[in-house]
Structure 1
Amino acid sequence: MSGWLVSAANKPVISVAIENENNTPISVFYDFFERDDLITALNLSDAVNAYGFTLVIERSESDFTKLVFKIDNKEIVASSLEPVIIDSPDVILAALGTKKASFLRQVQEGFNNTLDTSDKPTDPTSISHYFDLCIITDSNLLYFNGWALTDGAMSDIIVEDEEGKGYQVTECFRYLRTDINTKFGLADNYNAGMVCACRLPTDFLPEKLIIKTSENRIMTSDVDSSGSSQLSKTKILKDYLSFVNVHKARFFDNGQPAILRHLADIWQAESIMDNLLPEVGMFGDVNMQPLVSVIIPIYGRYDFLQHQLLAFSNDTDMQNHEVIYVLDDPRIEREFNITCHGVFNTFNHPFKTIYAGKNLGFAGANNLGASIASGQYILALNSDVMPSSSGWLSRLVNKFESLDSPGILGTKLVYEDDTIQHIGMVFQDDAYYPGIWMNYHPHKGMPSHLIKKKETELTELVTGACMLMEKEFFISVGGFDTRYILGDFEDSDLCLKAYKHNKKIYIDTKESLYHLERLSQNLVDSGDWKYKLTLLNSLYQKDKWGDAIEEVKQQNV
């Protein structure tokens, strides 16, 4: 209970008893703090004292009307009280101001006399917690975040359904909450925040979350299922990553396994391609026996279709191949369909479309496109890559067939001013995060005529913006790895798969395509969550491939 009072006495005595039980006194703990604002607001004289107070009653029942409150032996009518149950202890503690520490000690001393010794907390704040969010999404992802003032491990996390059946949940990730540390006067590096994401079985409907710490403390919350369909995977990713500090010292040393597991569950990495019922569209008479199937994911920017199809329609060689556009953005389904009809009517160049009804990411979208590909070869192509001359694709195929043990063939990509965007790619140890391999583009930004290269040569890696390979190889290695989220490192991962199968990676420097680089994605976004996601994708690549990356670098020295 909290409130304020005005008294001529200094700190009046407050007592509480139970009505109709001989006014039996009960344990009550309270403290006062000055309320000078009341003196001003009520225009009181300096001789009057105004106090705020916070009061804690040891009471297992919630029927407050049975309680008798007295202040300096003056009874307060119980019917005038309108109690509100507050789940968050910070609301109570915030009212204490500088009196918080002494008040907590008083509460602890009082309650410890009635607690069993095995249940005594070593710190009264160890039982303080709050859930900002605890939901189950329509894809049965349990997601919660909040804070807890406990140093105990949170490894025993269970959700229960209405019948009391339980399901074990992955551990929480603890993170810094400066607002909580400031409010409770905690150490600057104390990790009060907690967040967790866990994919539950499809037939399990949770109603209650229970967390038991190693200090034998219990935290519970109802699981909210209302409005969960409004939370997309991307929104949850953004929310989760806002809690992750990748700049924290030694963050990458232990791999942060909880974070990688949570992100995989949010993204549905293991099951993202399951139970799909894709819609396939046909525009015109598509070549039924193409040499190459060109797979082009569409996310955010759908207007590039008209530029690409204009170029394809002016290249008679493209009649030997098929073009497959994969819609990977449910937000633009209507606009995409309208654009497809418009560009076909304008340029009359045949193509296929396929749409899974949800966002699959770069890897999933390309894998989906490959599932309906008819060509002997697959060309993974970004929607913002434009040919600069006719016949380029068949020339790349001829080059591929002339190489020794080819796995993947890439080609030179340039910006609109003919400076280099891509002419091969290598693993580079990141200076800011030692031990993390990033994908580096040598010669990027340099005028292409200054770069002297062989017409075709070996390279460590090639970009997924334009990579040619045999369909049989692509299918045999499982395509792109869908555990990478939103388009990072899938290309280098596929190159590592090629090395594992004793195949080689080549770059062709004779052909030249224009690449607008990432304009195919809608990057107008606030925050640094995509940067964090890139680093965590690189961490997954490191954990997956281990020493294989170093072996590839030694092989290509």
Structure 2
Amino acid sequence: MRTPLVAVLVLCTNEKKFLKGVVDSLLKQTYNNLRIYILDNNSEDGSKEIISNLSPRGRSSFGRKYQTSNLTSIYFKSNLGYAKANNIGLRRAFGDGADLCLVLNCDTVLKKDCVEELVESYLEKKKEEIKVGLIQPVILLANDRKKINGVGNAIHYLGFGYCQDYLKSYKKQSVDKEIYSVSGAAMLMTREYFRQVSGFDEEFFMTGEDQDISWRGLLYGYRHFLSQGAQIYHYYQFGRHKLNKYREEKNRLMMLLKNYSVKSLILLSPMLVVNELALILYSLFEGWFFLKIKTYWAILVNSKTILKNRKIIQAKRVVNDKILFSRFKAVIHFNPINNFIIQNLANPVYWFYYHLVYIFI
């Protein structure tokens, strides 16, 4: 069996300070059949100049010589967001003959055998005739490499997503683990998967695309995995910017409307209404009330596209919501947002309704 050609897509948006680390770590990979694509989302911090210096046999601004004939740079004239920019990169890489693509954040550093371990995990699952979807490495915090950033993301049944085991001490495991949502910081994808799920939903722009593309894969019968031997280090910061809340909420609602069956949406509707009213009240106190209201307008404006995508997804799905619901979380446990309201008010209600609906879904 030939060695799969792996393309690594590194998407950068004004992340000049991280370029050296990620490119260095890619050039030191033990896996040889590798191509690197740097996608620049119209950066204005000097990133373009650094990327352009990574020419074949040239001396980069990092101060060392690189053999970079396997490095391709793609510049966008505007910020296309995570979803659209990566879709363009994926189409280009698969069109160039890649068998697998590793979608990677710029603010990461890879352990030297990361790609090799990811490919090994993929090939092992294929030998077992598993319908492999997405594979992610163990993601540790770059500033504290003994702490977990993410070992797969959790999907709450109302569409919330968060990093599992965030800030817990990492203990290496020997056996790959099945997960239900991967992290957008690093995910390995096959050509077949990209084609079947139609890539990232470009209506998302950014935030939640990883959860959405994972969820659609589950609907189509794919299985996602955590490669225990592969590691990356992520300069992660939990975002509290108000604009992030708008994107999180808009994209969460879009996911629910696209991916759940009509029956599930009807059964969940009382809890969804209660949850939205609670979020409106919460946004009023937190100062992003108008952004929350804006999410409903965005859903209305994009309703035709959402319904079109929903029709495609529901026609192609082979897994029912009863199975998926059993994989979703009933409550939210994520350190940065754990507070009295979530733990003592919201979670008990979430838990009760989850188990009530599970009987009928």
> Is the TM value for this pair above 0.5?
yes
- Could you say which residue in structure 2 is the equivalent of 1:440? 162
Report the residue type matching 2:228 in the other structure.
T
The one-character-per-residue Cα deviations of 1:124-159 (angstroms, maximum 9, x if unpaired) are xxxxxxxxxxxxxxxxxxxxxxxxxxxxxxxxxxxx
Matched, 1:491 2:213: no
Matched, 1:470 2:190: yes
- The offset of 1:343, in angstroms, is 4.8
Distance 1:412 1:311, change over 3 A: same
CA distance in 1, matches of 2:249, 2:83: 17
Matched, 1:312 2:26: yes
- Could you say which residue in structure 1 is the equivalent of 2:176? 456
- Could you say which residue in structure 2 is the equivalent of 1:85? none
For 2:214, what is the secondary structure of its paired residue?
helix
- Could you say which residue in structure 1 is the equivalent of 2:288? none
- Map 1:480-519 → 2, pairs under 5 A: 480-485=200-205, 487-517=206-236
Equivalent residues of 1:330, 1:357 under 8 A apart: no
- Could you say which residue in structure 2 is the equivalent of 1:369? 89
CA distance in 1, matches of 2:180, 2:252: 17
The one-character-per-residue Cα deviations of 1:351-398 (angstroms, maximum 9, x if unpaired) are 11112312211000111111220310011111112112x232122112
- The offset of 1:349, in angstroms, is 4.1
- Could you say which residue in structure 1 is the equivalent of 2:48? 337
Report the residue type matching 2:200 in the other structure.
F
For 1:467, what is the secondary structure of its paired residue?
strand
The one-character-per-residue Cα deviations of 1:167-212 (angstroms, maximum 9, x if unpaired) are xxxxxxxxxxxxxxxxxxxxxxxxxxxxxxxxxxxxxxxxxxxxxx
- The offset of 1:457, in angstroms, is 1.4
- Could you say which residue in structure 2 is the equivalent of 1:348? 66
Q: Which of 149, 153, 157 is 1:421 aligned to?
A: 149
Equivalent residues of 2:11, 2:38 under 8 A apart: yes
Matched, 1:406 2:132: yes
- Segments of 5+ residues of structure 1 without an aligned counterpart are 1-288, 430-435
For 1:531, what is the secondary structure of its paired residue?
helix
For 2:203, what is the secondary structure of its paired residue?
coil
Report the residue type matching 2:196 in the other structure.
S
- Map 1:60-71 → 2, pairs under 5 A: none
Larger Rg, first or second structure (1 or 2) = 1
- Could you say which residue in structure 2 is the equivalent of 1:324? 37
Equivalent residues of 2:180, 2:218 under 8 A apart: no
- The offset of 1:553, in angstroms, is 3.2
- Could you say which residue in structure 1 is the equivalent of 2:290? none
Report the residue type matching 1:296 in the other structure.
V
- Could you say which residue in structure 2 is the equivalent of 1:249? none
Instruction: Flag the structure with higher strand content.
Output: 1
- The offset of 1:302, in angstroms, is 2.5
Equivalent residues of 2:159, 2:252 under 8 A apart: yes
CA distance in 2, matches of 1:539, 1:556: 16
Distance 1:505 1:474, change over 3 A: same
Distance 1:304 1:330, change over 3 A: closer
For 1:303, what is the secondary structure of its paired residue?
helix
- The offset of 1:513, in angstroms, is 1.1
- Map 1:284-323 → 2, pairs under 5 A: 291-317=5-31, 319-323=32-36
CA distance in 1, matches of 2:150, 2:204: 21
CA distance in 2, matches of 1:298, 1:512: 20
Q: Normalization by structure 2: what TM-score?
A: 0.64
Equivalent residues of 1:460, 1:553 under 8 A apart: no
- The offset of 1:299, in angstroms, is 0.8
Instruction: Flag the structure with higher helix content.
Output: 2
Aligned-residue CA RMSD (Å): 2.5
Equivalent residues of 2:154, 2:328 under 8 A apart: no
Distance 1:301 1:376, change over 3 A: same
Give the length in aligned residue pairs: 251
Q: Normalization by structure 1: what TM-score?
A: 0.42
Report the residue type matching 2:66 in the other structure.
N
Report the residue type matching 2:156 in the other structure.
Q
| Bigger relative contact order (CA 8 A; separation at least 6) | 2
Matched, 1:535 2:307: no
For 1:352, what is the secondary structure of its paired residue?
strand
The one-character-per-residue Cα deviations of 1:256-302 (angstroms, maximum 9, x if unpaired) are xxxxxxxxxxxxxxxxxxxxxxxxxxxxxxxxx97111111111212
Equivalent residues of 1:380, 1:465 under 8 A apart: yes
- Map 1:89-108 → 2, pairs under 5 A: none
Equivalent residues of 1:309, 1:347 under 8 A apart: no
For 2:184, what is the secondary structure of its paired residue?
coil
The one-character-per-residue Cα deviations of 1:496-555 (angstroms, maximum 9, x if unpaired) are 221222110111222221011259xxx7x9x62222221121111111112476641315
For 1:295, what is the secondary structure of its paired residue?
strand
- The offset of 1:316, in angstroms, is 4.6
